[in-house]
Amino acid sequence: MRIGVLGAGQLGRMLALAGHPLGFELVCLDPARDAPAGQVAEHLAAPYDDELALARLAACDVVTYEFESVPVATARELARTTPVHPSPDALAIAQDRWTEKSCFRELGIPTAPFARVDSEDELRAAVDKLGLPAVLKTRRFGYDGKGQSVLCRDADIASAWRELGRAPLILEGFVRFQRELSLLSVRSTTGETAFYPLVENEHSHGILRLSRAPARGLTPALQATAEDYGRRLLDRLGYAGVLALELFEEGGTLLANEMAPRVHNSGHFSIEGAVTSQFENHLRAITGLPLGSTALRASAAMLNFVGAPPEPALVLAVPDAHLHLYGKEPRPGRKLGHATVLAPDETTRETRIASLEKTLAARDESR
Amino acid sequence: MRIGVLGAGQLGRMLALAGHPLGFELVCLDPARDAPAGQVAEHLAAPYDDELALARLAACDVVTYEFESVPVATARELARTTPVHPSPDALAIAQDRWTEKSCFRELGIPTAPFARVDSEDELRAAVDKLGLPAVLKTRRFGYDGKGQSVLCRDADIASAWRELGRAPLILEGFVRFQRELSLLSVRSTTGETAFYPLVENEHSHGILRLSRAPARGLTPALQATAEDYGRRLLDRLGYAGVLALELFEEGGTLLANEMAPRVHNSGHFSIEGAVTSQFENHLRAITGLPLGSTALRASAAMLNFVGAPPEPALVLAVPDAHLHLYGKEPRPGRKLGHATVLAPDETTRETRIASLEKTLAARDESR
């Protein structure tokens, strides 16, 4: 079976590595000549609107994406002839923070208070309504903390408007969350649904740095609440594939922050840490195969390598550590790879995370 | 780092899949145009003595092989300029049942009695010495039970000679073994050494059908004996990489049957079943990286798919089953893929093996 993929970054690369053993041939479309998936799958280096390349994808058995800023028009065009999963509608909703948060609200999934902002007057009205602090965000194309501005005082309103006001915006109430969690859900074209245990995420400079799976002190009640929200989304969107839902935990309640209609950085632990990886389950889901178990094999943690690669020998000397490099040229702020550590219990996990972090420190000192 | 590989079959394919996350680029040489590794790594489709192709391999940082019938001369030629692991000497010894068994004997590793046979007279003398039944084998290029003849009565001598006498031969005493086991050993260029738990293997028509890891009822004493033999070989051969040693268990003792200086079909369980797969550990070993743990994650079993592929949906519906297809065209007697099942205990493992075997039966009925 041939699977077309919009995007050929590291997510596409890991999809391809999961796909080969299942007998799937992946064909990835990505304008970047040196895209990471190109080393392990067929890569069409062309713009997302290249007719010849799109015809090649349309000839696949199913099309998916690994990158949510893919033009919705492209996904819709492909869907006229070829199954596209997740659906272009899910993609469209997730691309816009306003439609996304509105979808959460419509489904009764709690969020921070939010208001649509299309002018400086609307921004002032929204601040009056939501209070300060609040976060002004572009509705589209934000990622890794980009396109955001925190408003603490009235004086910040004008400067934030100058910074971001050229694009459609959303103002969100500032959430004093205890931690960020994410739920990786997966739903097959057959309707079969599964959820990974909640992951706890730490960011640095807006980029995911560390994930722990399961989240520390995870209770069945918290997991059940998150799964309830995940299930509402999957069913509402008629979803097939992996869906990542980012959640803030604030005083025992969960607030949905955003969703990504694709495999997700916070799910990378699942390659070794779960019975079935998010990549394999995404492929199973969009091809209608039975889903694999989402149970954990151990306590897992994932550490991203951003900007500079680690010394492989140092990473691999950590017990039960697994290295994943993406074949990318180093560049500041660029995700170059990750390592996952497994451990029999949470205490050992923390020790191993500390060992992994030392490999980063060694790298930074040697620069 | 670039790693040259002689051979591009399924073993090369699984080496490449393990190598990408470690940042290794594999370049495989194999005359077969549709070689399985070619879908996931650079593939030079040329004869093993092609000068241009060998120059490409010689330009790699290290060269290895995934196929032990590679010409030793090729390996030696490459070793003049480039590290070749395992060493061409190890390859030469393993290619010839006589030098192989002589090596076992020299190291004090028990074997069935054996005698070199280069003429029909020598065959008769060997039968007189070893008694019947005995097994006549070609010294070179035997695999999956090919190039062998069992002699039960004197009358079989002449026919076996007619069948096999054109090649150098070895006669081996017939071992009434209880079961076949294999030991996967790994030794790094740094001298670091590790052993996987003994695997129990069942064959069908001379081809590996089923492996259980660990072997049923494995005792620490049996494991220690096998590791002692494995360590003698690794040290004697100055070995780097994975070495597979096939053993017969006969009344509580272990007899060495043959060795393969490469990753091995009976080690495929390790992709999911061990903390570190044999493929990753082979790559770590030949590049001098720290070895990964060889501990099992669970009770594991591996079932080969020979001749016809399974129905993926049936395989993937078995709990904790993992499918590995090699991208090969079906052909009678050809290994097309395998599945590994993990289980929390040996009883559950047997239930899951039975479920997997049902998927084969379903396949056979549908043909």
The pLDDT tens digits for B35-77 are: 999 999 999 999 999 999 999 999 999 999 998 888 999 999 9
At A145 the pLDDT is: 65
Question: Does the distance separating the beta carbons of A22 and B17 come in below 8 Å?
Answer: no
**Chain B partners within 8 Å of A20 (Cβ):** 13, 17, 39-40, 327
For chain B, percent of residues with pLDDT exceeding 90: 92
Q: Distance from A28 to chain B by nearest Cα, in Å?
A: 14
Across A16-41, average pLDDT = 97
At B252 the pLDDT is: 86
* Confidence class for position B366, pLDDT limits 50, 70, 90: low
Question: Does the distance separating the beta carbons of B312 and A23 come in below 8 Å?
Answer: yes
For A166-180, the pLDDT digits (tens) are 899 999 999 999 999
**Chain A partners within 8 Å of B13 (Cβ):** 20
| Closest residue in A to B343 (Cα–Cα) | A275
* Confidence class for position B359, pLDDT limits 50, 70, 90: confident
Q: How far is CA B38 from CA A44, A332, B28, in A?
A: 18, 34, 8
Across B20-36, average pLDDT = 97
Interface residues of chain B, partner chain A, Cβ below 8 Å? 13, 17, 20-23, 25, 39-40, 275, 284, 289-290, 292-293, 297, 309, 312-313, 316-317, 319-320, 322-325, 327, 337, 342
Question: Does the distance separating the beta carbons of A25 and B20 come in below 8 Å?
Answer: no
Is the per-residue pLDDT at A264 higher than 70?
Answer: yes
Q: pTM for this one? A: 0.96
At B214 the pLDDT is: 98
* Confidence class for position A143, pLDDT limits 50, 70, 90: low
* Confidence class for position B112, pLDDT limits 50, 70, 90: very high
For chain A, percent of residues with pLDDT exceeding 90: 92
Higher pLDDT, A145 or A47: A47
> Which candidate in A1, A11, A22 is best for mutational testing of the B interface (most B CBs within 10 A)?
A22
At B237 the pLDDT is: 97
* Confidence class for position A366, pLDDT limits 50, 70, 90: low
* Confidence class for position A147, pLDDT limits 50, 70, 90: confident
Across A204-216, average pLDDT = 95
Q: Distance from B307 to chain A by nearest Cα, in Å?
A: 16
Is the per-residue pLDDT at B365 higher than 80?
Answer: no
Across B217-231, average pLDDT = 98
Is the per-residue pLDDT at A146 higher than 80?
Answer: no
Question: Does the distance separating the beta carbons of A324 and B21 come in below 8 Å?
Answer: yes
**Chain B partners within 8 Å of A324 (Cβ):** 21
At B367 the pLDDT is: 54
Interface contacts A/B by beta carbons within 8 Å:
67
Report chain B's mean pLDDT, rounded to a whole number.
95
At B206 the pLDDT is: 86
* Confidence class for position A141, pLDDT limits 50, 70, 90: confident
For B258-268, the pLDDT digits (tens) are 999 999 999 99
At B145 the pLDDT is: 66
Is the per-residue pLDDT at A12 higher than 70?
Answer: yes
